[in-house]
Amino acid sequence: MQMRRLGATGIDIAPLVLGGNVFGWTIDRETSFAILDAALEAGINAIDTADVYNIFRPGGQGGESETIIGEWMKDRGVRDRMVIITKGGLPMGPGLQGLGRDYLPRACEASLRRLQTDYIDIYMAHQADPATPIEETLETFQTLIDAGKARHAAASNYTAEQLEAALAAAGDGRARYAVLEPGYNLADRADYEGEVERICVENGVGVIPFFALASGFLTGKYRDRDQLKGNAREMLTAKYFTERNLALLAVIDRVAARHDATPAQVSLAWLMTRPSVTAPIVSATSLTQLDDILKSLQLELTAQDLADLEM
């Protein structure tokens, strides 16, 4: 498996990043361990998570995903083989939110405890914090880097304006965002392609897109809204049921048939052809799903395939 350099971090990661959002949400500890084991055995060396995973599920407290990952790394003795990406800043309880100097270091310490590690490889602002000047946020990230608690600062869900302002404010004791985590996939391209992509390319920012399979829509599993009823991802996936996206699924089906592949494999292979993308984030709730996802690494799309997908 050919590794890819993650922006200016000097870190090499596999062409896919394992998403930890499902750990402690739609799958339990035992299944999570099995998927982590299989992903590592296949050569996947980066895991994406966040402190708020999974505060959104009924009864969730937050930190469940980080806790499972930390227990797995300790049990398997593999911390030095993994690139850990986690995020902070979203609400974790009363008074526990934001990217300011008062809270972000506490959020980082809590993540370190749950992950059972001394450092986070890529520590992300989960989203921009309008209540905190970007200069303060970047100074706080730099303090964490100087203390050895984070190796690189990064951002998720930043607009072009927010990212550009953050990059302009870097330096003079302020960290520079080295990685961006945007929502980006075949069915949802507008927010990333254009200014955000241009800024990343011009500034050497690594890109690891989330929702690479459009919350399951691009797997082809859901062809009708009714199939989503009762599904944990119903609210996330329903928005993709548009006339354009249903037509896109038909195109993906045709491309998949040419290669004896699945829609998920085609969708991920397409993302991995994008010059500005380092590696998409992918989640799996079973070993069967993970196997399907990993096969995208061997799928080589033709020029005709790519042209057809540009609908």
Q: What is the DSSP string of 218-256?
A: GGT--SSGGGGTT-TTHHHHGGG-SHHHHHHHHHHHHHH
Query: Do the beta carbons of residue 151 and residue 122 sit within 8 Å?
Result: yes
Strands 177-181 and 206-207: parallel
Please identify which of the residues 53, 158, 177, 240 carries the catalytic annotation.
53
Helix H or strand E encompassing 195: helix 195-203
Note if 53 is an active site residue: yes
Q: Which pair of structure tokens corresponds to residue 40?
A: 């590592």
Question: Which position has the token pair 């520079």?
Answer: 176
Strands (E) located in the chain: 4-5, 12-13, 17-19, 46-48, 83-88, 120-125, 150-156, 177-181, 206-207, 281-282
Q: Which residues are catalytic?
A: 53
